[in-house]
Amino acid sequence: MEENNKIEIAIKRIKEFEPEEGYYLAFSGGKDSQTVYELAKESGVKFDAHFNLTTVDPPELIYFIRDNYPDVIIEKPEISMWELIIKAKCMPTRIARFCCRYLKEEGGENRVILTGVRWAESARRRKRRMVESCYRTGVNKTFLRPIIDWTNEEVWEFINSRNLKYC
C-alpha cells in the first residue's frame, strides 16, 4: 500500500464531507470500523460512535468495545433477536435479513453515517459507492465509506502501524 497516500486520501474524504453536527460513526468492533474510527480521530472531525447490540453478540466483543472504546455508545434494541425470530416465524437468512434491518441498520437517521464498508468484502459491496444517500418513509441517511477502496492487507497494515488492539 502506498500507506501514507491511502491514509491521506481517506482523511481528506472524511474532512470533505463533515456535517456541521458531526458524523454518526457505525461501529461494529471489527477491523474496518476500528480503522474508520481511528481515521476520524486523526482527521479531527466531530463524530459520535455507535455499536448496535444484536443480543447475540459474542461477550468478548462487548468487553473489547467497553475496554478499548469506552466512548462508543452501545445501542440496545427494544426487542431481542429471539423475539424478532418468533415475530417473523422464521430464521433470518442471507436473503431474509429482517434481523439486520432492525438490529444493525437502525440509527443515524437524518445524519451522515461513517462506515468501514469496503469493496474487497464481497461482490454485493463492490456495487456500493463511496457516498450514497438513502431515502425511505421520511428517513434520510447519507453514507460515507472513506476506506471503500482499501484491501484487507491495507486495513491490517493500518491497524498494525497504529498498534491497535483488535478482537
For the stretch 42-45, contacts whose Cβ atoms lie closer than 8 Å and that sit 24 or more positions apart, written own/partner, are 42/7, 42/11, 43/11, 43/14, 43/15, 44/15, 45/14, 45/15, 45/18
Report the C-alpha gap between 45 and 23 in whole angstroms: 8
pLDDT at 130: 76
3-state DSSP assignment of residue 64 = helix
**Per-residue pLDDT for the chain (167 aa), expressed as one digit of tens each?**
455 799 999 999 999 999 999 999 999 999 999 999 999 999 999 999 999 998 889 999 999 999 999 999 999 988 888 888 888 888 877 777 766 666 666 788 889 999 998 988 867 767 777 778 876 666 788 999 999 999 999 999 999 999 999 98
pLDDT at 1: 47
DSSP secondary structure, 151-165, as one string? -HHHHHHHHHHTT--
Report the C-alpha gap between 32 and 48 in whole angstroms: 16
Q: CB 53: neighbour CB atoms within 10 A?
A: 17
